[in-house]
Amino acid sequence: MNDEASPASARGLLVARGWVQVTLLVLLAGFFVLGLLAYRTYAASPPIPDAVVDPSGRVVFTGADVREGQAVFLRNGLMSYGSVLGHGAYLGPDFTADYLRRAADHVLDHHGGALEGAERTARDFQENRYDERTGKLETSEAQARAFEHVRAHYGTFFGEPTTRWGLRPGAITDPAEIHQLTAFFAWTAWAASARRPGESYSYTNNWPPEPRVGNQPTAPMVLWSMLSLAALLGGIGLLFAAYGRWGERLGWRARDHARLTFRDEVELTPSQRATTWFFVTMAALFVVQTLVGGASQHYRAELTGFFGLDLARVLPFNLARTWHLQLAILWVATSYLAAGIFIAPLIARGEPRGQGPFVFALLGALVVVVTGSLAGELAGIHGWTTSTWLGNQGFEYLELGRVWQVLLVLGLTFWVGLLYRTLRPRLGREHAGNMPWLFFFSALAIPAFYAVGLLVHHEASFTANDFWRFWVVHLWVEDFLEIFTTVVVAYMFVLLGVVAERVAMLVVYLHVILYSVGGVIGTMHHLYFSGAPVEHMALGAFFSAAEVLPLTFLTVEAWSFLRLGATQEGSTSQPFLHRWAVMCLVAVGFWNFLGAGIFGFLINLPIVSYYEIGTALTSNHGHASMMGVYGMLAVGLALFALRYLTQRERWSDRLAALTFWSLNVGLAWMVFATLFPLGLLQLHQSVEHGYFEARALTAATSETRALVEWLRLPGDAVFIAGGAIPLLLLAVRAARFPSRGTTTELPDVLFTELDPAASEHEASAESEPPGTT
């Protein structure tokens, strides 16, 4: 970054260059390491043999069967029913652990039972007989017979003519598909038990825990668990030391000398007005998402029916779960898109002609993608189409068909183009390290990192797919959506006059650095047991411990953040317009620490994850952080914009308050009534009895677990009826009673200074030359 490189009229960098340099360095270092790990993922994944043969040379199954079995697994939505290598949904079993147990029991019987055959059985599974030269994997006679035995079991299970397992009747009846599906499960079970060449543990670091095949925690697992704890404690110490040393310069600081009054109504540009319909769409998607979420949750309490209705004939569990997850991404993303479109004209102080129709075009494209992808998932899971282009791709979080995925990437890119079109005059006058560019870069990262999901495809190995999939699940969501949000929130405060631009920039840079130090390489904490080599576990555990640091920082920062509100409230007699939008940000701080920090770290250590992955403790973290942080932010952004989009006399603070309290109470209930205690029960069961037992469908439907699941109902009802529906009513009000006045030129702030003389003093302090910080 060089000030002199900017145009002569451009504003110089507002913060010291060191901030930009450190940010770039952290990002470059992180992605360099990820690049190396990408190479290692391909180089050291468990091989898919050309053929698996028994001692007589008879082919048990082929590599083509394994690949086709993966496709059968995905397009039938089974990753939204159970899991493989711990990743997927949690109603059905983990099919790796399931196959391994069933096959091991069969082999154990073959070798003479638990007393005589235990050691031989373990040796049978651990011995790696894959021949790299011929591409053949030789199994023992007992293992080959076990394959036939387990194939028969899956034939019965997936061919079940009723909906008793929560799947559509006769989900998979074709014997060839059952053979391929079993081959895929068998291959994952082989990778989970056969020892890596030259190592004493399997390709999956001995996951799942299964005593019958000698799978137990490995030395690196314990070592890196301990070191990640040390990294966490050391990091927190360093953070507080830094905060003690430079605390007065870090975090949100109010413009102490300014007395402000907030513009109650502002004229809006056509594109800003168009965002009303984005928020209506977003709130409608949110309502549908919570309803299908309720339906999927009901399966856990009552597997065989929905209050007497045979729901699975229409909405089997895997479809409800697929829609629940896809809609979560779509409604949150819709809110972020709208917030970006709403803020951009405020940054640029206007917008070019014709922007409104473009924004409506984007909304139309979004509606097409949403309805098309949901319909495709319906058709795919019901077996009406086997196309992964229009139907169901089936990867968790990337369930939507390929066509819809490509269109979504294009739509997000179009959105960035629209932002650029609005921002262009302002960008030309700014240093590339200043707020307008940060806003643009953070927006650009959204399509860029979502597009990485296109590298995931049915023909690739599960391990490679998981590597890229988590770039979307973790890196896109937890790093780049978080950064975009930080920039948008910072800009909101600047526009409201609550913080100076330079302070906002410092906060943004600090957040980007802290999130990226842990978050980029920390992505690998999802790949402890996916078949990636041990360095993924080591680096993932160590760096993801650092992900807790920004969350800790946020709790410290919350005090200075709260002071902002107190300062501005004290400086004006009028009620603060964005009371409930800011309250959502307060709630984000709470859920960030509890949901992402505590519940996330709870399952982050490799030794804990070894027993826990795929249990309700993962859902617990997922719900508390996804809804508590990203969902709550999306709602906060919606409330901020809707306040301006609605006629003043039609705005209802009571509805906003109801939304806020119901979402938080419902979420707390959801977490503490069901997900957290259920996760603890499952973890205990996993360690005490085995992972297979903790994830078995029979255990999931046991009386105790069903009771814990039923306890969630009141919280879910409050969440849906008191939280999601009032938000939709608020959005509909904005559409029915739009605020008056349209303009193509906007003021650059949403406040008026009552005491400009006092703030001149501050302005002179803020204009210190860059580099003096």
Partner 1 sequence: MSNLPLLASAYAVFLALVAALFTVVSRWQRPTAAWPHTELPRFRAVLARTLLVLAGLVLFVTALRHGTEPTSLASLGAAALVVAAVAWRVAG
Question: Which residue's CB is nearer to partner 1, number 500 or number 564?
Answer: 564
Return the residue of 136, 360, 579, 729 that touches partner 1, per CB under 8 A. 579
Give the three-state DSSP class for 87.
strand
User: Which residue type, as a one-letter code, is found at position 10?
Assistant: A
Return the residue of 257, 261, 563, 743 that touches partner 1, per CB under 8 A. 563
Closest distance of CB 559 from partner 1, Å: 9
With binding defined as CB under 8 A, does residue 555 bind partner 1? Answer: no
Question: Which residue's CB is nearer to partner 1, number 266 or number 665?
Answer: 665
Specify the DSSP class assigned to residue 522: G
- Interface stretch with partner 1, choices 208-216, 494-502, 529-537, 709-717 (CB under 8 A): 709-717
Which token pair is 158?
């997936």
Label residues 532-542 b or e (16+ Cβ within 10 Å = b): bbbbbbbbbbb
User: Which residue type, as a one-letter code, is found at position 476?
Assistant: W
What sign results for the dihedral spanned by CA atoms 628, 629, 634, 635? positive
With binding defined as CB under 8 A, does residue 565 bind partner 1? Answer: yes
- Which helix (H) or strand (E) element contains residue 262? strand 260-262
CA distances to 11, 142, 255, 557, 752 from 494, rounded to whole Å, are 17, 69, 10, 17, 13
Question: Which residue's CB is nearer to partner 1, number 375 or number 562?
Answer: 562
What sign results for the dihedral spanned by CA atoms 494, 497, 501, 503? negative
- Interface stretch with partner 1, choices 492-500, 507-515, 531-539, 569-577 (CB under 8 A): 569-577
Closest distance of CB 245 from partner 1, Å: 25
- Interface stretch with partner 1, choices 113-121, 323-331, 508-516, 581-589 (CB under 8 A): 581-589
Which token pair is 332?
């949150």
With binding defined as CB under 8 A, does residue 596 bind partner 1? Answer: no
Return the residue of 266, 367, 406, 665 that touches partner 1, per CB under 8 A. 665
Query: Given phi > 0 = left and psi -120 to 50 = alpha, else beta, which region is 118?
Result: alpha
Specify the DSSP class assigned to residue 208: S
> Is-contact 719 670, C-beta < 8 A?
yes
With binding defined as CB under 8 A, does residue 672 bind partner 1? Answer: yes
With binding defined as CB under 8 A, does residue 360 bind partner 1? Answer: no
The answer for residues whose C-beta is within 8 angstroms of residue 96's C-beta and 6 or more apart is 83, 84, 85, 86, 185, 188, 189, 192, 204, 208
With binding defined as CB under 8 A, does residue 566 bind partner 1? Answer: yes
With binding defined as CB under 8 A, does residue 639 bind partner 1? Answer: no
Which token pair is 535?
């360095």
With binding defined as CB under 8 A, does residue 586 bind partner 1? Answer: yes
Determine the Cα–Cα distance for residues 490 and 495; give it in Å rounded to an integer: 9
Closest distance of CB 699 from partner 1, Å: 11
With binding defined as CB under 8 A, does residue 582 bind partner 1? Answer: yes
Return the residue of 187, 484, 590, 630 that touches partner 1, per CB under 8 A. 590
Question: Which residue's CB is nearer to partner 1, number 67 or number 578?
Answer: 578
Which token pair is 562?
């709260």
Closest distance of CB 680 from partner 1, Å: 8
Omega before residue 770 within 30° of 0, cis = no
What sign results for the dihedral spanned by CA atoms 292, 294, 297, 301? negative
Helical pair 501-519 and 482-495, crossing angle rounded to 10 deg? 170
- Alpha helix stretches (DSSP H) within 428-477: 435-450, 462-470
With binding defined as CB under 8 A, does residue 664 bind partner 1? Answer: yes
Closest distance of CB 251 from partner 1, Å: 16
Q: How many residues make up the chain in this entry? A: 773
With binding defined as CB under 8 A, does residue 721 bind partner 1? Answer: no
Closest distance of CB 252 from partner 1, Å: 13
- Interface stretch with partner 1, choices 130-138, 355-363, 601-609, 669-677 (CB under 8 A): 669-677
With binding defined as CB under 8 A, does residue 661 bind partner 1? Answer: yes
Number of residues located near partner 1, criterion CB under 8 A: 27
Closest distance of CB 710 from partner 1, Å: 8
With binding defined as CB under 8 A, does residue 302 bind partner 1? Answer: no
Where do contacts with partner 1 occur on this chain (CB under 8 A)? Answer: 562-563, 565-566, 569-570, 576, 579, 582-583, 586-587, 590, 661, 664-665, 668-669, 672-673, 677, 681, 704, 707, 711, 714-715
